A and B are shown apart, each in its own frame.
Chain A
């Protein structure tokens, strides 16, 4: 349990979600963590405080969450894969600099272990109310990538995916965990590293004529390795390909268009979900995070009663899988969205189904789990 040294060996472990996120970060190549303590994310920082030094990495406890995210932006510019972890109140403080990382195109991973909010809410209890904040929390037009685990194994797998996507797209990636998954222990199978694809950022090769923000055909500019003679210009101000600030609306248009398109046009490389018994379904239950565990059980219970109901678990929350929902909406009559908030993904399903299906919400406002019989009750009510 405690005796790990160096890289974690392939095999089976009984870990909490927070343990799994910390170990997966190391597995994915994270070598810099900065954070400020907050329940229910603390075990990530605690574990990395002794695990990172074992693998030659750096752990820093910063003075607050703003400093934490800015320092991982700096560390990433310096060449290290970097991560922070927090919960709702800290996530709010990080919003401005999530925008900075989007604009500067810095790969970082932010773990938000959601708890019941708003404000300090119930620090020790489950919530899933930061889902829309992950999308819209910083100002201005931008796209973000956010992933949500429903099992401890997924906490491990999606953390690796988060680092891969952040490196591939040069963008911040948010892991929307929640208190349920993070504090719960479950089996994790750590794979052989040779069986896992680890993506590292694309680096510029030639300092001569290097332009900080000249993108390749994949819409992602190669990053300059520091200390090798590259001249780098980077800013949160609107900038041209050289990285020079500009107040020209056309420069703004070109830049923002590319920042949006590098994610929108390559959504198929990002979106991940699990579809279960949807082939003949009249009703599809959509869920994610801890709530998805009870939602899937409810679908099994309803199937036993002969109700044609399917299950869609979202692993990628943002970008939202509009096309997946729309295709289902052509076939199914009703969606039920199970989530521990006031209906933040319910409205996305409504939007993406374009009026073709009725959409219902089942859940609570945080502080406790959703139980399978609650979701079943909703299925029986709307069928």
Chain B
């Protein structure tokens, strides 16, 4: 094993280690602390504009139209329904649904141009409610499949808000585009009376 030549003196090594430590302390306090933790004891964070880095970006602008929708439907025992929205890649949606009894659900998405029947599943469970936000990983059709596995009728109420296009509904023999509605069931794409 080869080493440094000429060998540095012990004095120099001690000095350089202390200096290295002090530089690191200065960097950690002056740069890392404001950039990562939003604390700025030396004022270097605001001087160099580092403070913003530690904050979560609160606003994500969207370009498509903002929409809301409420869907309420009843499922007979063993009946299923699929409710989806068109979302382009990166578009976001808030959702909340509740059922009067436990149902089996599956949140899935079918990318544009995918072969028929192909879908990516993101969440599947047997429950009576779910809330959350969704950001489309690709452009396509995104939404829920619900199936009533119990022996009683179940009512599901879904409310969404976000930057989606048209809504689709598929259940037993009925399939097609569904108009968006507000919480009272009034059509949203109709002009006000």
Are A and B associated in one complex?
no
